[in-house]
Structure 1
């Protein structure tokens, strides 16, 4: 099989209301079996999904269904969220590059791909597929790569489970994500700096299909990474990620932080929603006191959990039925 990647050059700056199908059809001669990969931001521009606001953080939360992780930075707060459009992305996929507005993702990326495919096929008379691509990082991997935010007319997955490998052993977990592979390959010939938002993948006509395709977003029991480490611990303590409570408790920073700051944050998380307990904190230890031994024990246990969420270990010394000293070990 020979696959050819063709950048679609010469497209004008896209504005709200532009006819993307006509512009693409005029810029390149499309053939049966082509896969048109288009940056989702261009689709957002054509759909008029630009937002003029100075509060990007509020817009991120507005365009999210859940916060996966959040960190304080020198310029504000960076959040990894489950976007309203489906995938987990940094900042809900909101983009300001090459635009005067903040562009949000199409609310239904597959429907947007369907619409563009229908219009392209009507304009060209050829049978093709469409992929809306976007850029994202991946856990454990440096850098960014493109993935399929939405698609139409394309086989998304190639399930090889149950087939034999070259040694005769059955494959148990191999399901290739063809849509993401197509999106990533196309990005080799397009890009923000070059202002080439569209590419054509030619030579993979066998992947075209009109059959319904499964979602590529893992949810529920199949999602092993629904929360970051800090966020999972804090959520268990009743501090919901992305909430005012989370900001009141304090967000962990991207870089290294003093032990005393992490200790104070753990105390605030542990005390959230609990009966009052007297807490005296110094650089690397704290003392708890309460008339109610049950309340004391409850906050004591919560503080040890919160400290573990801050990657801090501790030892505890009971000073009496109503007092405890907890010392952080570094």
Structure 2
């Protein structure tokens, strides 16, 4: 019988710039019974960003007139200034909410800038500069220490058009196939699929979030039992501009 398991990795300390996250993950995997061939290691973006030093103290930020405008009466202009600095484009705004396209190509709230679970008050966490590179680095370090080469997904919470609530998606990927292309195959009644592509990396990130959560204090999980063998990057999951019906 097909089965998928999600195993939360407990016992990781509060993380800071320069910490060896790969070694800490390897130790946490050992405590959970060890990695197996085919496992996918899902790591929350904030854990990655913290060790990479992607932190900004708002006391050091001087807001621009545009940031003051976007903050409105309820927002913090300093945080809006950080958001503008992380944005390639402001897609929509309703002060103090900003939906932005990041330099990675992600369209998300606040360009991924977030104050929750930050390291200290008046501090915000930014997305990694290159989440795919972050995933590759973690995979190499964990493989070096454990002898097992897992797939790695760096995950973050995103909202979705037309749907309430957030779900985790993959913003960085290494050692796995992020998309399953079913175009040209046939379904059970013989119909040829013409456009079906499954975002396997996003589904894995969403499954892992069930044990991570915003307040659980568990920044990583093993997802076991999913065949995503292959290779690719999270950039494959970004909608190309020429196919974006909702720019």
The TM tier, using the shorter chain, reads: 0.7 to 0.9
Aligned CA distance change for structure 1 residues 18 and 68 (closer, same or farther; 3 Å): same
Q: CA deviation at 1:93?
A: 0.7
Q: CA deviation at 1:104?
A: 0.5
Whether 1:215 aligns to 2:236 is yes
Secondary structure at the counterpart of residue 97 of structure 2: strand
Q: How does 1:285-300 map onto structure 2 within 5 Å?
A: none
Other-structure match for 2:58: 53
Could you tell me the TM-score, scaled by structure 1's length?
Answer: 0.65
The answer as to whether partners of 1:137 and 1:144 remain within 8 angstroms in 2 is yes
Aligned CA distance change for structure 1 residues 139 and 214 (closer, same or farther; 3 Å): closer
Aligned CA distance change for structure 1 residues 3 and 124 (closer, same or farther; 3 Å): same
The answer as to whether partners of 2:183 and 2:196 remain within 8 angstroms in 1 is yes
Could you tell me the TM-score, scaled by structure 2's length?
Answer: 0.86
Other-structure match for 1:33: 38
Secondary structure at the counterpart of residue 237 of structure 2: coil
RMSD (Å) for aligned C-alpha atoms: 1.4
Whether 1:83 aligns to 2:102 is yes
Equivalents in 1 of 2:89, 2:146: separation in Å? 41
Other-structure match for 2:215: 193
Of residues 145-154 and 213-222 in structure 1, the stretch that sits farther from structure 2 once superposed is 213-222
Structure 2 gaps of 5+ residues are: 60-77
Other-structure match for 2:178: 156
Indicate the structure whose relative CO is greater, using CA pairs within 8 Å and at least 6 residues apart. 2
Equivalents in 2 of 1:83, 1:49: separation in Å? 15
Other-structure match for 1:8: 9
Whether 1:42 aligns to 2:61 is no
Structure 1 gaps of 5+ residues are: 227-330
Whether 1:67 aligns to 2:72 is no
Q: How does 1:250-265 map onto structure 2 within 5 Å?
A: none
Equivalents in 2 of 1:195, 1:208: separation in Å? 29
Whether 1:19 aligns to 2:41 is no
Post-superposition Cα deviations, 1:210-242, rounded to whole Å, max 9, x if no partner, equal 46776211132111111xxxxxxxxxxxxxxxx
Q: CA deviation at 1:5?
A: 0.4
Equivalents in 2 of 1:143, 1:50: separation in Å? 26
The answer as to whether partners of 1:85 and 1:105 remain within 8 angstroms in 2 is no
Equivalents in 2 of 1:156, 1:212: separation in Å? 7
Equivalents in 1 of 2:211, 2:10: separation in Å? 10
Aligned length: 221
